[in-house]
A and B are shown apart, each in its own frame.
Chain A
Amino acid sequence: SYVLTQPPSVSVAPGQTATISCGGDKIGSKGVHWYQQEAGQAPVLVVYDDSDRPSGIPDRFSGSNSGNTATLTISRVEAEDEADYYCQVWDSDSDHWVFGGGTKVTVL
């Protein structure tokens, strides 16, 4: 089955840039989606199809995808960005939806 690998944690100071990686075999050929989950809350879609943002999501959130790594970038980080972030793809070989293990972003 397809595996997505994320770093367990990322720490960033307010106003700086947080970068979260999501590794997978030839992930660049797949559409990657990102979710933010604040403590005790349901996930929220923040980026879909590698780099598109749903309405209402600040443009501080951006994404890219190439080769074996997809990346979520949070610019000008704010305290409210502290949350868990998950990447997700659809694996056409198994017809399964797959999540990465999640990355906890801590704002220092």
Chain B
Amino acid sequence: QVQLVESGGGVAQPGGSLRLSCAASGFTLSDHTMHWVRQAPGKGLEWVAGISWDGKNQHEADSVKGRLTISRDNSKNTLYLELNSLRLEDTAIYYCARAPSGPYCFDTWGQGTMVTVSS
């Protein structure tokens, strides 16, 4: 069964850092580009960042540019997201999502992990 499970969410202070993980199972992680998508409370979906199958190419949204590191360890079937210089507006559910071969969409999503930035 294809599954993505996020962890690492919690409460962090403004200016702080947080590292999220996404464990993949039921498929070969190295076959897929992977992404992070977030959703602020009561708001819509926002793409955050993506990383190619081999980790060599990364893309990030303008809202997090320079504050984010997306990485992966295919040997551990795990995707990571490190967000630095946290702001109140980073408060959101963070989902990891798999891109299928071909279409530029997200065919599998995790259940999400909540990040709350608060003083």
Give me the interface of A with B, judged by CB distance under 8 Å.
Answer: 1, 31, 33, 35, 37, 42-45, 48-49, 52, 54, 84, 86, 88-90, 95-102
Q: Bound complex: CA of A99 vs CA of B35, how far in Å?
A: 14
B112 in contact with A42 (CB, 8 Å)? yes
A97 in contact with B35 (CB, 8 Å)? yes
Q: Give the residues in chain B near A102, CB-CB below 8 Å.
A: 44-45
B44 in contact with A97 (CB, 8 Å)? no
Task: Kindly report which residue of chain A lies nearest to residue B105, judged by CB atoms.
Answer: A33
B103 in contact with A31 (CB, 8 Å)? yes
Q: Give the residues in chain A near B80, CB-CB below 8 Å.
A: none
A1 in contact with B62 (CB, 8 Å)? yes
Q: Bound complex: CA of A52 vs CA of B100, how far in Å?
A: 13
Q: Bound complex: CA of A1 vs CA of B111, how far in Å?
A: 28
Give me the interface of B with A, judged by CB distance under 8 Å.
Answer: 35, 37, 44-47, 50, 59, 61-62, 95, 100, 103-107, 109-112
With A96-B61, A97-B35, A97-B50 as contacts: A45 and B106 at CB distance below 8 Å: yes
12 more A-B contacts (CB under 8 A) besides A45-B107, A49-B103, A99-B44?
A33-B104, A33-B106, A37-B45, A42-B95, A44-B109, A49-B105, A54-B107, A86-B44, A97-B35, A97-B47, A97-B50, A98-B47
Q: Bound complex: CA of A89 vs CA of B37, how far in Å?
A: 14
Q: How many A-B residue pairs have CB under 8 A?
A: 60
B59 in contact with A95 (CB, 8 Å)? yes
A88 in contact with B105 (CB, 8 Å)? yes
A42 in contact with B111 (CB, 8 Å)? yes
Q: Bound complex: CA of A84 vs CA of B103, how far in Å?
A: 22
Give the 9 A-B residue pairs with the shortest CB-CB distance, closest first: A90-B104, A33-B105, A97-B47, A42-B109, A102-B44, A99-B45, A48-B103, A48-B105, A101-B44
Q: Bound complex: CA of A107 vs CA of B110, how far in Å?
A: 27
